[in-house]
Amino acid sequence: MRYVVVPWLFLIPILALHAFVVVFPAAQGVFYSFTDWRGIGEAEYIGLRNFEEMLFEDQSYRDALWRNIQWMLFFVTVPFAFALFGSSLLAKVRRGAMFYRTALFMPFILPSIVTATIWRYLYNPRFGLPTLVGYEKALLGQSDTALWSIAFADNWHFWGFLMVLFLTAMQGIPPVLYDAAKVDGANRWQEFWHVTLPGIRPVVLFMLMMVMIWAFLVFDYIFILTGGGPAGATEVLGIDIYKNAFQRFEAGYAAAQGISISIFAGLIVSAFAFLRKRGWEI
């Protein structure tokens, strides 16, 4: 009996904390998503009205969702390409390897406000990077460049994290596989495609799933650099939810938007779980 009870005695504090921090607020969010609530006072139950408005009437929600999809497409391509290329090069480095890894990983541990402030100065049209190429316009002040400029700044901070993960996975590949590939006459590209990539595929696919989920949670860099501007050009779901909850005082509607993000994340996880059942290594 004690072998059953004692483990639960140790788990109860953790489970209680998890329930207080995660389960209870999540349940509140689900409840308020079915109400007309201003964030204070009593909430009026309105059923599925918030979801109906979100899906069929709110054009700003659909525009924000499309920007999140664009953000996701950027981050499942550019950072992964940078990380795979950088890790494949560093895997061959022996002298000074730790220095290079630390230098490339360092931006990831910088606070968002620090990184965003650095890039705000770098994007300055009077003395920043645009002046070096003769493009003296505000990259963060134009609708067609603002979102991608923020995405590139976030990529600068993020791709080193992916690189370290991929590099660690590469170091677990048995060297005998590379020796066999060389005996068969494989070049560097063929070694990467037929040995390295299959060897790190579980890590790549798992991070692909996580990045797709994180793309719907983006908030900090956009909020710091543009606040959703100019003219709503960088307003993603996180920014739209923030404005609805704390500026327009439509907390019930914001809760419904938050539930939609959870649904998108659940669909992504379900898709990868289905692929795992089909034999994919994830």
Q: What is the pLDDT of residues 234-272, one digit of tens each?
A: 999 999 999 999 999 999 999 999 999 999 999 999 999
Query: Mean pLDDT throughout 165-176?
Result: 92
CA distance 86 to 164: 9
More confident: 90 or 282: 90
Domain 58-277 belongs to what topology?
Answer: MetI-like fold (1.10.3720)
CA distance 101 to 50: 47
Residues 6 or more apart from 169 whose CB is under 8 A from it? 199, 200, 202, 203
Query: Which tokens hold the place of 47?
Result: 């059923």
CA distance 189 to 209: 25
Average pLDDT, the chain: 92
How high is the pLDDT of residue 105? 92
